[in-house]
């Protein structure tokens, strides 16, 4: 059964609602600044105290509960704080960065409590609030642990990195709206882009990277990589008063956990890495792998739809690309206008938006019936009925329309900064032929979802230089680590979890044979939850090759 009172809400959607009109950073920020004064040394960072405060007033909780139907008691218990970290650990006296912290205190008696269980957001570029914005984990785990999450440096809070101005100016000057929209269209084929288009794309990437460094600050962008965040995690462990880090990391958080285990093996308690990320492969290969993982999830969704829905729009995976293309093309000809949310502009669903909503919905297996119904209604040209399902799915994927642009700009900046720091690209080694080859490979991996996969590689080729994450890490001295991999994960291929579990010498792999991005802790699969709970609470490591069958939706 699911732990929350409603299905787990999309990462960005609830966070945007939760952060409206209230601050995630309590007044501790100013106090910490005064406490450290001028020369900052690491020991003084370790001695700081977090002033935990309730995140929301009751009036705010009432509004959130009415809109999202989440559990009021859970939100009432949620606490917010802040921690100050050095921008550069090699020069801790120079500059500092404030990061937001979030905590759901343990529910059990004092003698039952075991300290903190730290969650890393996924992303990269996601904030910590999304991990604790809904009821997660079993009552037994919540009784034993304070659940703690954080905004990685540069993500959210007072010291967030945002290049919204650079993004707007760059696209307006370089492309013009019509051309840019054409080059990002869902039906773009690699041959549709000329060499001139590719050179212009690369020049736009360079101008954006330079403008972003000026707007957000080159020093901050250069220190947003996983090595710095792993050091922040160890500082957080000490500030929380824990001798060891008990940790659950999802998606990019699995890489953070792996880096932590490599750097601080003697400080690792229990560690769960769900949805493994493999950064030991070339960035261009990672992009193609991701396109293939979305395609795998898409084909599993189509099979599920054809087998279980009477009104499925698809006859099977072999013909689904053409059938979906007709749906998207019809939306381009006659876009669907959703019911206008209160106080927001109308939401227009064309082919590009529908494909993005579909891609994001594939991350959450329990939403597949709603997506199936929406696509069936679109195929039947029943726009009013389709709008019923899409109003929910769109908000789930994007959040409230009024808040999406600013939140998207911050998340996009953080994601780019983190990915470019962890996956440095040599600008001199990339040319238009490489760009086209990558586009062809991504398109072959997923004709629908491959898209302009070349764009992140272009941006990273011009990004500020950062300290790259270690490669080839094995964390040989770390205690047993549990890696969870999902066969139909649309964001991190299952093969990445397999590779991560094999590389980390003390790791064992638990396989969820279903779909979705993130299998543990949300009540979606009792098998996964039970085996990981037993590991966290009793220290019992699952045997190698543990498999969990999917739930029925």
442-447 mean pLDDT: 92
Chain center to CA of 407:
13
**pLDDT for the residue 179:** 56
Greater confidence (546 vs 158) lies with 546
For 469: left if phi > 0, alpha if psi spans -120 to 50, otherwise beta; the answer is beta
Structure confidence by residue, pLDDT tens digits, 219-232: 999 998 889 999 99
**pLDDT for the residue 446:** 93
CA distances from 537 to 143, 270, 524, 532, 540 (A): 10, 9, 19, 9, 8
pLDDT at 68 over 90: no
Residue 188 in tokens: 């773009």
| CA pair distance 504, 265, nearest whole angstrom | 11
How much is the mean pLDDT over the chain? 83
Greater confidence (55 vs 33) lies with 55
| CA pair distance 104, 113, nearest whole angstrom | 13
Structure confidence by residue, pLDDT tens digits, 171-184: 555 444 455 566 66
CA proximity to 274, closest of 289, 293, 244, 252? 252
36-50 mean pLDDT: 73
Which fold, 11-159+222-281+471-548? Rossmann fold (3.40.50)
DSSP 496-532: HHHHHHHHSTTEEEEEEEEESS--SSSSS-HHHHHHH
Q: Are 259 and 470 in contact (CB under 8 A)?
A: yes
**pLDDT for the residue 284:** 84
Strand pairing report for 245-250 and 268-274: parallel
Structure confidence by residue, pLDDT tens digits, 472-531: 789 999 999 999 999 999 989 999 999 999 999 999 999 999 998 889 998 889 999 999
Residue 354 in tokens: 């529908």
Predicted TM-score (pTM) of the model is: 0.84
Maximum C-alpha span of the chain: 68
For the chain, the domains span: 11-159+222-281+471-548, 162-216+287-422+426-462
**Phi, psi of 96, deg, nearest 5:** -135, 160
Structure confidence by residue, pLDDT tens digits, 299-358: 999 999 999 998 999 998 999 999 999 999 999 999 998 865 555 567 889 998 999 999
């Amino acid at each position: 059964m699911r732990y929350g009172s409603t299905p787990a809400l999309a990462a960005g959607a609830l966070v945007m609602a939760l952060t409206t009109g209230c601050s995630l950073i309590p007044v501790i920020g100013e106090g910490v600044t005064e406490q450290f004064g001028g020369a900052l040394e690491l020991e003084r960072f370790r001695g700081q105290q977090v002033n935990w405060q309730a995140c929301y007033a009751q009036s705010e909780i009432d509004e959130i509960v009415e809109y999202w139907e989440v559990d009021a008691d859970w939100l009432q218990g949620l606490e917010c704080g802040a921690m100050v970290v050095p921008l550069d650990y090699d020069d801790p006296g120079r500059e500092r960065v404030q990061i937001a912290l979030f905590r759901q205190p343990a529910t059990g008696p004092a003698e039952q409590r075991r300290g903190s269980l730290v969650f890393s957001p996924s992303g990269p570029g996601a904030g910590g609030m999304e991990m604790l914005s809904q009821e997660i984990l079993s009552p037994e785990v919540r009784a034993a642990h304070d659940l703690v999450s954080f905004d990685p440096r540069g993500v959210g809070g007072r010291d967030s990195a945002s290049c919204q101005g650079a993004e707007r100016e760059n696209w307006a000057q370089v492309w013009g709206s019509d051309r840019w929209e054409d080059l990002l269209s869902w039906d773009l084929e690699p041959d549709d882009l000329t060499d001139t288009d590719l050179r212009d794309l690369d020049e736009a990437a360079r101008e954006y990277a330079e403008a972003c460094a000026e707007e957000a600050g080159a020093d901050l962008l250069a220190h947003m990589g996983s090595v710095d965040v792993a050091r922040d995690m160890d500082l957080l462990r000490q500030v929380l008063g824990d001798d060891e880090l008990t940790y659950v990391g999802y998606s990019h958080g699995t890489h953070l956990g792996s880096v932590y285990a490599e750097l601080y093996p003697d400080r690792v308690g229990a560690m769960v890495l769900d949805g493994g990320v493999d950064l030991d492969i070339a960035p261009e290969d990672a992009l193609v792998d991701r396109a293939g993982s979305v395609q795998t999830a898409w084909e599993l969704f189509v099979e599920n739809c054809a087998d279980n829905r009477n009104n499925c729009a698809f006859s099977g995976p072999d013909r689904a690309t053409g059938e979906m293309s007709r749906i998207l093309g019809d939306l381009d000809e006659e876009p669907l206008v959703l019911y206008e949310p209160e106080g927001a502009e109308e939401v227009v669903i064309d082919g590009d938006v529908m494909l993005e909503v579909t891609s994001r919905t594939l991350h959450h297996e329990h939403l597949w019936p709603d997506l199936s119904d929406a696509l069936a209604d679109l195929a039947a040209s029943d726009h009013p009925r389709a709008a019923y399902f899409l109003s929910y799915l769109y908000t789930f994927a994007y959040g409230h329309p009024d808040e999406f642009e600013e939140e998207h700009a911050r998340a996009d900046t953080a994601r780019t900064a983190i990915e470019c720091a962890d996956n440095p690209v040599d600008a001199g080694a990339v040319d238009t032929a490489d760009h086209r080859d990558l586009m062809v490979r991504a398109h072959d991996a997923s004709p629908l979802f491959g898209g302009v996969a070349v764009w992140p590689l272009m941006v990273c080729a011009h990004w500020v230089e950062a300290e790259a994450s270690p490669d080839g890490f094995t964390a040989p001295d770390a205690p047993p680590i549990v890696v969870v991999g999902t066969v139909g994960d649309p964001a991190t291929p299952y093969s990445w979890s397999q590779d991560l579990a094999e590389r980390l010498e003390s790791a064992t792999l638990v396989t969820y044979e279903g779909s979705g991005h993130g299998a543990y802790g949300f009540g979606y699969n009792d098998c996964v939850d039970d085996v990981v709970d037993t590991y966290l609470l009793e220290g019992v490591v699952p045997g190698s090759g543990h498999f969990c069958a999917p739930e029925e939706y």
